[in-house]
Structure 1
Amino acid sequence: MTDAVQQWACERVHQCYWQDDWNCARTQLVLQCEAAQLPLPPLWAEAMAGLHGAGGYGAQCGLVEGMLVFLGLQGALAEESAEEISAHCRNFAAAYEAHFGSLLCRQLRPQGFPQDGPSHACEMLTAQAVAFARQWLLAEKL
């Protein structure tokens, strides 16, 4: 991972978390669209509100969900088939799991979502995942 991509991810994630108060899924989607200079309808970003581990349930990681939505949007705009988009999503999920060890929020964020827990506890993981996703897109030439 290049230092420039990691630095960009750290700075932008911090802003998205502490200034905008976004969750991980929205942050991933918005930053990937920003980096790709892809237009993002505002409603799509707002629709990500419950996609942080399935609304805090601990299911699929919102960082994965945000990237899968990005791949779907990017693929649709490029007029890719549903099969092509599905293949990109599958390949990203496999790469993410191999790199981070899981696709599940409850495993990546073992402290869960306690009422008195810290805000944005996944900031470091989010920055790493945003940078990883950006590098993966570049390596895959997507």
Structure 2
Amino acid sequence: MTISARGSNNVKFSTKGRYAVMAVCDLARHDDGRPVSLAEIASRQKISVSYLEQMFAQLRKARFVKSVRGPGGGYLLAVEPAQIKISEVMTAIEHPVRGNQDDDGMFATRGCSDDPTKPLWEEVGRQVLGYLDKVTVEDLMTGRVPH
């Protein structure tokens, strides 16, 4: 998850993670038993098909979606929307920040080993992932986002 501080209270996630959540929600919203093509999702969400192909390869590997080949093929959710946590979608798509030997995952700092801000970013990471762990695709589909 790429986050960057913008102002004092704004955290920004990478486009890839946000688009993956949008695409999974689109798939859930248009689940009528038939596969949904990436072209359909791309058209509705204004995301390029090639970008979706990359994301759906990762989502398939994480077993959130399954692909159907052939004419009329596309993707279906492999898991019920109530069982898909947003934290899991984000971590399936995003890669931990890399850059130092003592990499602690997504919210790792790139500073020296005695960086006094490291505990801050570790706690931010725990809080963000803890919240996203409470939100499911079904919550987003029904507008019941926890506060």
Question: What is the TM-score normalised by the length of structure 1?
Answer: 0.29
Which structure has the bigger radius of gyration?
A: 2
**Which structure features the higher share of strand residues?**
2
Q: Using CA pairs under 8 Å that are at least 6 residues apart, name the structure with larger relative contact order, 1 or 2.
A: 1
What TM-score, normalized by structure 2, do the two folds share? 0.28
